């Protein structure tokens, strides 16, 4: 996304004190979503997303699916790891950073991931 840091003030304000509750552990055959934790969207997260959609350079048309990828590519999970992963569902996750990344497409291999570059990082304010 193109834009100025000042453009993100409303996004960061909407994310203040962001804590999300995990919904499920998911697995797919898609490289970038092979193992992930999906989160319940909150009003604050949806408000931040709406603010992002207003910024120049936002790419519309993508489904909003709040999640954290635990790995890319086929996961090698043992029963012990599966228990640790399932335990993630019991704990809400607090977020304190918003990171902008340059991600050349497509992303299909580990070599593609090595091309990713952080372009900016912003602290998410604490809850008021």
Residue-level length of the chain: 128
pLDDT at 2: 41
pLDDT at 95: 95
Chain-wide mean pLDDT for the chain? 87
What does residue 83 show for φ and ψ, rounded to 5 degrees? -60, -40
pLDDT tens sequence across 52-80: 898 888 887 878 999 999 889 887 766 77
pLDDT at 56: 84
For 35, the 3-state DSSP assignment is strand
Residue 121 bridge partners (DSSP): 99
pTM exceeds 0.95 for this model: no
CATH of the domain at 111: 3.90.1140.10
Residue 128 included in any domain: no
Least confident of 42-46, 79-83, 114-118: 79-83
Residues 37 and 104: their CA atoms lie apart, in Å, by: 23
With residue 24 as reference, give the H or E element that holds it: strand 22-26
Domain ranges, residue 25: 5-123
């Amino acid at each position: 996304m193109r834009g100025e840091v000042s453009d993100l003030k409303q996004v960061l304000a909407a994310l203040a004190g962001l804590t999300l509750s995990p919904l499920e552990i998911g697995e797919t055959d898609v490289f970038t979503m092979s193992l992930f934790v999906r989160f319940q969207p909150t009003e604050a997260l949806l408000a931040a997303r709406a603010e992002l959609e207003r910024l120049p350079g936002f790419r519309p048309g993508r489904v909003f699916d709040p999640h954290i990828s635990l790995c890319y590519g086929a996961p090698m999970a043992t029963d012990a790891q599966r228990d640790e992963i399932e335990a993630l569902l019991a704990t809400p996750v607090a977020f304190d950073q918003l990171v902008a990344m340059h991600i050349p497409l497509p992303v299909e291999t580990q070599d593609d991931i090595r091309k990713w570059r952080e372009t900016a990082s912003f602290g998410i304010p604490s809850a008021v």
